Amino acid sequence: MRFKAGFVAGCAVGLWAANKTAQLRRTGIQPHSGAPRAMGSRADAINAEVTAEKIRAFGELARHRFNDILEGQIGVTARAKIADLVGSSVRDALATPAADRSRSEPRRDSA
């Protein structure tokens, strides 16, 4: 069940990211008008700067929202589950009998 929920959540995030990039592309491209469009290295540099600025702003927004999620109830629950998982694996490793641990250690010949 967890795999299905993760898969659906991943697909939803992918769809949202694809729609957001399409929206950013649409706002960067202006509709054709009767006037000729300036084509030159300076125009390309300006478009690249604007695109880079939009990407930076999008990254900042995503980072802030992700931090908000981690600081909320979901983040608290996730941290608790991870701590429990790590703690239980450490307890299991420490509870292993000495005979089992000696099997995994290489044998030393006494000669």
* Tens-place pLDDT, residues 36-47: 555 555 666 678
- Are the C-beta atoms of 43 and 62 separated by less than 8 Å? no
Task: Quote the mean pLDDT of the chain.
Answer: 76
- The per-residue pLDDT for range 16-31, each reduced to its tens digit, is 888 888 888 877 655 4
pLDDT digits (tens, 9 = 90+) for 60-88: 999 998 888 888 888 888 888 888 888 88
Does the predicted TM-score (pTM) go above 0.85? Answer: no
Would you mind telling me the total number of residues written for the chain in this entry?
111
Q: Which of 7, 48, 57 is nearest to 28 (CA)?
A: 48
Give the Å distances, CA to CA, from 13 to 17, 18, 35, 62, 94: 6, 9, 39, 12, 40
Number of Cβ within 10 Å of residue 25's Cβ equals 11
Q: Where on the phi/psi map is residue 29: left (φ > 0), alpha (ψ -120 to 50), or beta?
A: beta
